[in-house]
Amino acid sequence: MHTIIWKLMNIEENVSLKSYNTFGLDAKASIFVQPKDEKDVSKLLQGGLLASERFFILGGGSNIVFVADFAGVVVRMANKGISIVSEDDRRVVVEAQAGEVWSDFAWDMTRRGFYGLENLVEIPGCVGAAPVQNVGAYGVEAKDVIKAVVAYEIATGCKRIFTNTDCKFGYRDSVFKNELKDKYIVFSVMFELHKDRTCTKTDYSAISNGLKERNILSPTPMQVAEVVADIRKQKLPDTKEIGSAGSFFKNPIVGEQKLELLMKDYPTIVHYASGDGKYKLAAAWLIEQCGWKGKSLGRVGVYAKQALVLVNNGGCTGSEVQKLSETIVADVENKFGVRLETEAIIVK
Ligand SMILES: Cc1cc2nc3c(=O)[nH]c(=O)nc-3n(C[C@H](O)[C@H](O)[C@H](O)COP(=O)(O)OP(=O)(O)OC[C@H]3O[C@@H](n4cnc5c(N)ncnc54)[C@H](O)[C@@H]3O)c2cc1C
């Protein structure tokens, strides 16, 4: 059966993933396949390759650290296309395929007068990962605009449409990262966007300050997108120049008692109420207090402008990234008694 798949699809062997992950890690995939349409996905799933081999579904590789070569199949979704599903005077439902570049899609929608994605421009990666990760920035999350997700079950090849509720979205989280992890390939995503330019969200302080600086009182979504792009440029590395996986660690959540204890020793500790009597600590602040901001361990460093971001100083390997990450986790735990979890996905 496998030989049929190999003949039907463009399957490559021993492929470097360096240009397929934003950290620029030169791991190799023993098998690499890029489905371009529904037929390719069906062939791949019906051929049973993913049932017999270890696999990883890759989007733009912007939240991934390949620690070593991947002995198995890397499936990189390469299906493209954006279409309008329905439209009225106020709203439009747009379907975008998984392989579309997220930021290009968000800018395109904003330019076309379809709003809701303006705060999410410039997030690296592809459309297919947006519901998996529930990407978010500046007060907006993908879950706010996702109407449905079209996905293929890997075990059966059956197509399923997930409603927004089915996706069980949480903070950078969804059903696809939990009970349905590695069970579905997201093929396309439907977004419900609106046409009212006054509905754009500007309450996030960085955005409202950016608009004030530009003397913009009633911003258009396009102006909001431009402010967001400017803020991101100042804070985050351009992955075309500096390899990274964005925020490497999650902001840890602690209870009230733990926060009180920490505040005795560190009265300026950065924290926010996160509901249920819990508090979110700023991981970047904790890392900075351990002296890591702008510092390096060999060829991997902590970005000088944002301590949450680990960067490739040139030619680093995934295991070097992992080593720095573990060192930071240990240092933060020793100093604060708080264990950081990685937001970036470590693929071993
Ligand atoms: C500089 C920088 C800034 C960033 N800023 C933000 C930000 O502001 N907000 C934010 O939320 N994230 C941010 N990120 C993280 C990253 O951009 C997002 O997590 C993004 O959604 C990852 O998309 P991707 O296509 O690169 O997915 P990948 O990194 O390739 O994969 C991520 C996960 O999604 C799964 N996946 C991908 N595609 C599919 C598919 N078609 N079907 C099933 N599973 C799939 C993968 O298996 C993996 O588990 C940033 C990253 C960088 C490098």
In the residue annotation, 326 being an active-site residue is answered as no
| DSSP H helical ranges for the chain | 2-8, 38-46, 49-52, 102-111, 129-133, 205-213, 221-235, 256-265, 283-289, 318-336
> In whole angstroms, how large is the CA radius of gyration of the chain?
21
**Over the stretch 80-117, which tens digit does the pLDDT of each residue have?**
999 999 999 999 999 999 999 999 999 999 999 999 99
In the residue annotation, 122 being an active-site residue is answered as no
Helix (H) / strand (E) containing 52: helix 49-52
Q: In whole angstroms, what is the distance from residue 143 CA to residue 169 CA?
A: 6
Q: Which amino acid is at 206?
A: A
If the chain, 348 residues long, is cut into consecutive pieces of 10 residues, what is the mean pLDDT of each piece? Answer: 59 95 97 95 91 95 97 97 97 98 98 97 98 95 98 97 97 95 98 92 93 94 96 93 95 96 96 90 97 97 97 96 98 98 94
Three-state secondary structure along 17-40?
CHHHCCCCCCCEEEEEECCCCHHH
**Over the stretch 66-81, which tens digit does the pLDDT of each residue have?**
999 999 999 999 999 9
Is the model's pTM score more than 0.75? Answer: yes
Q: Which amino acid is at 309?
A: V
Q: Which amino acid is at 254?
A: V
Residue 132: Cβ within 10 Å count: 28
DSSP codes, 239-294: TTTSEEEEE-BPPPEEEHHHHHHHHHH-TT--EEEEETTEEEE-HHHHHHHTT-TT
Evaluate: CB of 239 within 6 angstroms of ligand 1.
Answer: yes
Evaluate: CB of 154 within 6 angstroms of ligand 1.
Answer: no
Is residue 206 within 8 Å of 138, Cβ to Cβ? yes
Ligand 1: centre distance to CA 60 (Å): 7
Q: In whole angstroms, what is the distance from residue 179 CA to residue 270 CA?
A: 33
Is residue 301 within 8 Å of 320, Cβ to Cβ? no
Check residue 178 and report its DSSP letter: T
Check residue 303 and report its DSSP letter: -
The CATH code of domain 2-76 reads: 3.30.43.10
Is residue 169 within 8 Å of 141, Cβ to Cβ? yes
CA-based end-to-end distance of the chain: 28
- Of the candidates 221, 173, 197, 222, the one whose C-alpha atom is nearest the C-alpha of residue 341 is 173
Q: In whole angstroms, what is the distance from residue 214 CA to residue 197 CA?
A: 18
Residue 348: Cβ within 10 Å count: 10
Evaluate: CB of 150 within 6 angstroms of ligand 1.
Answer: no
**Over the stretch 211-221, which tens digit does the pLDDT of each residue have?**
999 999 999 99
Query: Spelled out in words, what is the top-level CATH class assigned to the domain 82-235?
Result: alpha beta
Instruction: List Cα–Cα distances, 213 to 140, 193, 233, in angstroms.
Output: 22, 28, 16
Instruction: List Cα–Cα distances, 93 to 16, 123, 165, 196, in angstroms.
Output: 37, 21, 17, 14
CATH topology of domain 243-347: 3.90.78
Evaluate: CB of 25 within 6 angstroms of ligand 1.
Answer: no
Active-site choice (91, 160, 172, 197): 172
What are the extents of the domains in the chain?
2-76, 82-235, 243-347
Instruction: Note the pLDDT of residue 8.
Output: 55
Q: Whose CA is nearest to atom 2 of ligand 1?
A: 246
- Tokens 């002995």 belong to 71
Evaluate: CB of 244 within 6 angstroms of ligand 1.
Answer: yes
| Residue in 25, 54, 63 to alter for ligand 1 test, most ligand atoms within 8 A of Cβ | 63
Q: Taking each helix axis from N to C terminus, what angle separates 221-235 and 102-111, rounded to the nearest 10 degrees?
A: 150
